[in-house]
C-alpha cells in the first residue's frame, strides 16, 4: 500500500512521497498441512480493486500486483493452494481478509466477536469489511476469548491436535474481535500483532510512532482505550521478554524486509 505522506506515515522520505506499507502474512508448515496467518489482498482484489471501495483505494493506494498475493507466493514456494488447510485471521478488515476466497477449502480461525462484527457491521464499520471476501462461504472456526494465560495475556490454543503450537492472543481495540497470533518456534515465540500497532517503534522503549500513522490508527479504532492499553502491554512484553518473544505487526515494511533478508528458515 502506497499512501501519500511518507514522512508522516513512515517517518522517513518526503512529505508528499509515497509511503510503503505491507500486509505481513505468515505461512506455517505443520505435519497436517499449511497454516496461513492473515491473507492480505487476494487475486480478486488485484483484478478488481474497486471492490475495496473508492475511498480506500484513493487514500491507501494498494498496488494491484497479483504476484504479491499469498496464493501466488505460496505457489512460488512449490505448494498447492489446497495445502493450506487452516487460515488464522487477526481480524477481517479488507486488507487482511482479501485472500480468503483464494483458499475456499481452508477452515478459517478467528475470534467469534470479530465474525459477529464483520457479519453485522454498524454504518461506521461498514467500509472496513468487504462482503465479497466471504461470499464463497468459508468454514468459520469461532474461538472465544479466555481460557489460558500466556505471558499475562489471555490466550486460546487453536488446532490442539497439531504439532504447530498456535495461540490466539485477543488484542481488542482496532476492531472488536481483533487478535494477535502467537506461534511457538524452536526456542522462542513469534507474536503476530496484526493491527494492534502499526509502527515497530510503538513497541520499543521509549515508544514512538510517526504522527500521521498515529492519527490513522485513532481514526480506524473501534475502542481507543483498549487499543492504547494493549499497545502499552505489548511494549512491556517486548521489553521484559525480549529473549523469549519476538513481536511483528502487519504493516511495518522494515520489519518484513528484515525477515526476508534473514531468510524464512531463520525466522
Ligand atoms: Zn490492516
Work out the end-to-end distance of the chain between its first and last CA atoms, rounded to an integer number of angstroms: 24
Residue 221: exposed, middle, or buried by beta-carbon count in 10 A (0-12, 13-18, 19+)? middle
Bridge-based pairing state of the strands 166-170 and 153-158: antiparallel
CA of 146 to the centre of ligand 1 (A): 24
Half-sphere exposure of residue 207: CA atoms within 13 angstroms, side-chain side: 18
CA of 36 to the centre of ligand 1 (A): 16
CA of 92 to the centre of ligand 1 (A): 9
Is 60 exceeded by the pLDDT of residue 192? yes
pLDDT tens, residue by residue, 106-120: 999 999 999 999 999
Is 50 exceeded by the pLDDT of residue 267? no
Over pLDDT 70: what percentage of the chain?
Answer: 99
Closest CA to 40 of 59, 18, 20, 21: 21
CA of 183 to the centre of ligand 1 (A): 20
Model confidence band, residue 265 (pLDDT cutoffs 50, 70, 90): low
Is 80 exceeded by the pLDDT of residue 129? yes
Model confidence band, residue 264 (pLDDT cutoffs 50, 70, 90): low
Model confidence band, residue 11 (pLDDT cutoffs 50, 70, 90): confident
Q: For residues 183, 191, 198 and 47, what is the CA-based torsion angle, rounded to 10 degrees?
A: 0
CA of 251 to the centre of ligand 1 (A): 7
CA of 93 to the centre of ligand 1 (A): 6
CA of 249 to the centre of ligand 1 (A): 9
CA of 78 to the centre of ligand 1 (A): 27
Mean pLDDT, rounded, for 60-75: 96
Average predicted confidence (pLDDT) for the chain:
94
CA of 171 to the centre of ligand 1 (A): 14
CA of 109 to the centre of ligand 1 (A): 17
Is 70 exceeded by the pLDDT of residue 4? yes
Is 50 exceeded by the pLDDT of residue 156? yes
pTM to 2 decimal places: 0.96
CA of 250 to the centre of ligand 1 (A): 6
Amino acid at each position: 500500500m502506497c499512501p501519500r505522506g511518507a514522512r508522516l506515515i513512515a517517518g522517513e522520505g518526503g512529505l508528499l512521497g509515497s509511503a510503503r506499507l505491507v500486509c505481513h502474512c505468515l505461512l506455517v508448515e505443520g505435519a497436517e498441512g499449511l497454516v496461513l496467518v492473515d491473507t492480505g489482498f487476494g487475486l480478486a482484489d488485484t483484478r478488481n480493486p474497486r471492490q475495496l471501495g473508492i475511498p480506500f483505494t484513493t487514500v491507501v493506494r494498494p498496488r494491484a500486483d497479483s504476484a504479491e498475493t499469498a496464493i501466488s507466493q505460496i505457489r512460488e514456494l512449490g505448494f498447492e493452494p489446497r495445502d493450506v488447510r487452516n487460515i488464522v485471521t487477526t481480524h477481517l478488515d479488507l486488507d487482511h481478509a482479501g485472500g480468503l476466497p483464494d483458499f475456499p477449502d481452508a477452515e478459517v480461525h478467528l475470534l467469534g466477536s470479530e465474525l459477529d462484527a464483520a457479519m453485522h457491521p454498524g454504518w461506521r464499520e461498514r467500509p472496513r469489511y468487504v462482503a465479497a471476501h466471504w461470499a464463497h462461504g468459508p468454514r468459520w472456526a469461532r474461538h472465544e476469548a479466555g481460557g489460558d494465560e500466556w505471558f499475562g495475556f489471555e490466550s486460546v490454543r487453536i488446532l490442539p491436535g497439531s504439532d504447530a503450537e498456535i495461540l490466539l492472543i485477543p488484542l481488542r481495540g482496532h476492531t472488536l474481535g481483533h487478535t494477535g497470533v502467537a506461534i511457538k518456534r524452536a526456542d522462542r515465540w513469534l507474536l503476530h500483532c496484526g493491527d494492534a500497532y502499526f509502527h515497530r517503534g510503538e513497541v520499543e522503549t521509549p515508544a514512538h510512532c510517526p504522527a500521521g500513522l498515529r492519527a490513522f490508527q485513532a481514526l480506524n479504532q473501534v475502542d481507543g482505550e483498549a487499543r492504547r492499553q494493549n499497545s502499552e502491554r505489548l511494549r512491556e512484553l517486548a521489553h521484559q521478554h525480549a529473549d523469549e518473544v519476538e513481536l511483528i505487526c502487519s504493516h511495518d515494511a522494515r520489519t518484513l524486509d528484515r525477515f526476508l533478508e534473514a531468510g524464512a528458515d531463520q525466522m
